[in-house]
Amino acid sequence: MNKAPLKAFAGLAGLAAGGGLTMLVRLALGMPVWKTSPVLVVGIAAGLFAWLAATVGFRKLLSLDAARGALCGLAGTGVAIGITMLVRLAIGLPAWNASPVLTVGIFTGVVVYLITLGVFNYWARWAVGRPDGADRPKKPGWARYFDVDTDHKVIGVQYFVTGLAFLPFAVILQLVGRTHMVDPDLGILASGSYESVIGTHGIVMMFIVVLPVFFGLVNYFVPLQIGARDLAFPRLNAFTFWLVPPAGLLAAFSLMAGGFTTGWTAYPPLSSSFEVQGMDLVLIGVYLAGLSSILTAVNVLATIFKKRAPGMGFFRMPIFVWGTLATTSLSLVFTQFIGMSFLMVLLERTLGMGFFVPAMGGQVLLYQYLFWFYSHPAVYIFVLIGLGLISDIIPVFVRKPLFGYKGVAVSSMGIAWGGTIVFAHHMFAAGLPGWMRVPFMITTLLVAVPTGVKVFAWTATTWMGKIELKTPLLFVFAAVILFLIGGLTGIPQGIVPTDLYLHDSYWIVGHFHALFFGGFLLPAMAAIYYWFPKVRGRMLSEKLGRIQWFLMVPGMFLMVVPMLGLGLEGMRRRISDYEFILNLQPLHIATAVGGFLVFAGLVVLGYNLVVSNRRGETAGKNPWEASTLEWMISSPPPEHNFDEIPHVHDRPHLEQHAHVGGEPEQKSGEKEGDKA
Amino acid sequence: MTFPAVEIESARSSPMRLGMVLFLISEAFLLGALFWTYYYLRGLTPGWPPHSPPATLAFVNTAVLLSSSATIWLGARAIRRGNEKGLFGFLLATIVLGAAFLGITGWEWTHEDFFPWTDAYGSTFYTMTGFHALHVLGGVLLMLALLARTARHRFTADSFKAVEVGSLYWHFVDFIWILVFTSVFIIR
């Protein structure tokens, strides 16, 4: 029987019911009946749900942990909002005050969601001394990815796909913003909406795209590369993953709740003023994402310290693992600062506290100290894993071991910990005490040294190599060049006199987009082409990969370089308008075109993923002839990763790096230690 | 330079303790952000502190919390010697002391002459003591879980890692209280 009409009907009925109900509620609350965004969003969500229910069956849909958790979480939010309003009435306050009511509602909803999802089941059973239920049957196929699962490979895919799912959302937001800037007089966005749109783009990109994409790779490949069965705490791993989807939805829905005009930095006093209505959702969302990344850091560090295979000394780990080690050691401690500073703003909004309110004896600059003390190291949190990927992919495709392996490994830690003492360079223009300027200028410039070590090592590795220009290597080369541009354009911002001119201009927007392209997006693309065969057992299309490259990389240059020019011309960031007489429009047009090219590249990637997942050629164990451990097992890896305990003999990217199965080689006795 | 090969044994050993130590390092930074706030405001505000919460009861509270550190230590010692009943008793005592601490803190809060929304001092005072109290609450829940497990005879002289790891957390929370107490009530 053809069920297509039924599915379509269910979807449309859901859309109509959801939209209609929203309009009725709005009518009952005395609001204007039609407002496009809430009515459409609720309608589309209801329609999607009805369509899914008709497609896979209502019962099966509800049996998915994710669906159950989401529904119960929503219900919990509603009930908690209702109770809070009743309590407020009872103690003589006006029933509705967005910040406290929403905050209580959302936190309760998230807790209900986590409980009904079942991430606490293992621990609850452990506490009362019952069997932990780990032998629960796993659903076949895609359904497994919507259940709470403790296998690091499943969680890795969950993280990665969550990040990828939010990527087009964040990019489209920015395309709207860029289109607006082509001709602000057309009024595509109102002035408040423009700031909200780009702020949401920033927040979603950093916390809901970059972190989950990298944590996905870390989850999947760090245990494989160090020869472990799983992460140190698989249940904690599941818990930290399931914090990410609500965080992402909160950040995205802040636009519907009124948006936030502060930009991603959320500086008070603007962020604690009630005119910025969507702020609460962003603050809570980022807090959840931060909590997730702190606990993931605990988990990954314990894994790297405790779960390495025999022979896997620290200086035999792939650089990707070193980058992970550096990143997680930073996010372990510094994420607490953004968590705390965001919570303090939330407390100001909900309880009327006054840490940053001068009239109450607070200090505005205090927020900036706390915030940048995290957020500068955060930059390294966002790029170090990408730099590790670059260092690992180059040797595979130039058929040479990494030049200066030990220096590159240590430079990851150098960048990470050197980066912790530079934070005040974000505040050169903020009224910093004069004596702080020069020391922070010097430390800032010093961080360029370990970064330079990496770039020199990559170049030297490529030198005289047998270069195979496969798609991963193409992306890596583009990444190195963009990263270099990002690094060099950072120097004028580290130097006080030039920074005072460039601060808060498009120069910095261009600078950090170059860094994010070179340190995150392009390495992530390289990683997709490099590791997809391992995860799915099929190769991605090289041809589509090249088309993507030729759309994306020129697009990135077209986006970044005009931004730098705009900055030099004096264009400020987060401003939704400019005078045509200043002749800035051509540069804005170029930036917008670049943005659309990058997006076109992403569309090609999506097509490639879907098509190659079905019809790509079979990959086999080791299509790239790489030597690290993940390539010594079948693709996709078996449930338990390694049939036998792997043994590691030497550095990565050497023939004799490691082997799985068979007796440990006797003659490797003299190679026990690391010789260099 | 040589690097010792990792033994198969250590690859299999439980990393629970390391996980807790890492988590506590992280928590130290969370509370560090609060201390930063407190001392930053203190340095820039003439006439600090604008309010003087009475220290007498806080002294009592400190004694209560410190003695709970002793009871959890005694509990861990008891199970190391195979004394399950001793562990149960000392865990119970720790929970009672922790709950007493929370009760006294709550009583103090309702009897201060300033509120979180009075001024920046009030905000900092309630946030610091509040975050610490949240950590004590988390500790009490952890102790309750350990108590439930003890009642089901899950800890023996050979297997009590969770007790040790739990007590690590408890000692940390106590140590943080000493810092909060010294900052807020003694040196002002």
Mind listing the pLDDT tens digit for each residue in A23-46?
888 887 777 777 777 778 788 888
Q: Does B5 touch chain A (CB under 8 A)?
A: yes
ipTM: 0.90
Of the listed ranges A285-294, A375-384, A564-573, B21-30, the one predicted with least confidence: A375-384
3 state SS of B159 = strand
* B chain contacts of residue A375, beta-carbon cutoff 8 Å: none
pLDDT at A605: 96
H/E stretch holding A659 = strand A658-660
3 state SS of A635 = coil
pLDDT at A671: 43
B9 or A344: which leads in pLDDT: A344
- pLDDT tens per residue, range A639-661: 889 988 898 988 888 878 888 87
pLDDT at B9: 37
Q: Does B169 touch chain A (CB under 8 A)?
A: no
Question: Span A50-60, mean pLDDT?
Answer: 81
pLDDT at A1: 52
Q: Test B33 with A340 for CB contact under 8 angstroms.
A: yes
Contact A382, A516 (CB under 8 A): yes
Mean pLDDT of all residues in chain A? 89
pLDDT at A663: 54
SS3 assignment for B144-157: HHHHHHHHCCCCEC
pLDDT at B4: 41
Q: Test A302 with B145 for CB contact under 8 angstroms.
A: no
pLDDT at B1: 34
pLDDT interval class at A662 (50, 70, 90)? low
* A chain contacts of residue B3, beta-carbon cutoff 8 Å: 313-316, 673-674
Q: Test A347 with B15 for CB contact under 8 angstroms.
A: no
Contact A328, A301 (CB under 8 A): yes
Residue A166 CA, distance from chain mean position: 9
Q: Which of A293, A231, A246, A287 is nearest to A115 (CA)?
A: A246
Q: pTM for the whole thing?
A: 0.91
Q: Test A672 with B2 for CB contact under 8 angstroms.
A: yes
Question: Span A78-86, mean pLDDT?
Answer: 92
Answer left, alpha or beta for residue A30, where phi above 0 means left and psi between -120 and 50 means alpha: left
* B chain contacts of residue A381, beta-carbon cutoff 8 Å: none
Contact A42, A78 (CB under 8 A): no
Q: For chain A, what is the radius of gyration of the CA atoms?
A: 25
Q: Does B187 touch chain A (CB under 8 A)?
A: no
Tokens found for residue A112: 């209900």
* B chain contacts of residue A298, beta-carbon cutoff 8 Å: 19, 22-23, 26
- pLDDT tens per residue, range A138-181: 888 888 899 899 999 999 999 999 999 999 999 999 999 999 99
Tokens found for residue A539: 């190769």
- pLDDT tens per residue, range A206-261: 999 999 999 999 999 999 999 999 999 999 999 999 999 999 999 988 888 888 88
pLDDT at A244: 96
Tokens found for residue A288: 């959840």
Question: Span A69-94, mean pLDDT?
Answer: 91
Closest by Cβ to B5, choosing from A299, A344, A672: A672
Q: Give the whole-angstrom CA distance, residue A529 versus residue A536.
A: 11
Q: Test A127 with B145 for CB contact under 8 angstroms.
A: yes
- pLDDT tens per residue, range A101-135: 999 999 999 999 999 998 898 888 888 877 777 67
Answer whether residue A294 shows pLDDT above 70: yes
For chain B, what percentages of helix, strand and coil (3-state, to nearest 5) are there? 75, 0, 20
pLDDT at A473: 96
Q: What is the largest CA-CA distance in chain B?
A: 63
Contact A245, A332 (CB under 8 A): no
pLDDT interval class at A472 (50, 70, 90)? very high
Closest by Cβ to A333, choosing from B10, B29, B36: B29
Mutation target vs B (from A125, A315, A336; most B CBs, 10 A cutoff): A336
Q: Give the whole-angstrom CA distance, residue A77 versus residue A155.
A: 26
Answer whether residue A192 shows pLDDT above 90: no
* Ranges under pLDDT 50 in chain B: 1-12
Q: Does B77 touch chain A (CB under 8 A)?
A: no
Answer whether residue A670 shows pLDDT above 70: no
Answer whether residue A483 shows pLDDT above 60: yes
Q: Give the whole-angstrom CA distance, residue A235 versus residue A13.
A: 39
Single-letter amino acid code for the residue at A226: I
Q: Does B152 touch chain A (CB under 8 A)?
A: yes
Q: Give the whole-angstrom CA distance, residue A453 versus residue A321.
A: 18
Q: For chain B, what is the radius of gyration of the CA atoms?
A: 20
- pLDDT tens per residue, range A382-417: 889 999 999 999 999 999 999 999 999 999 888 888
Beta bridge partners, A660, equal: A646
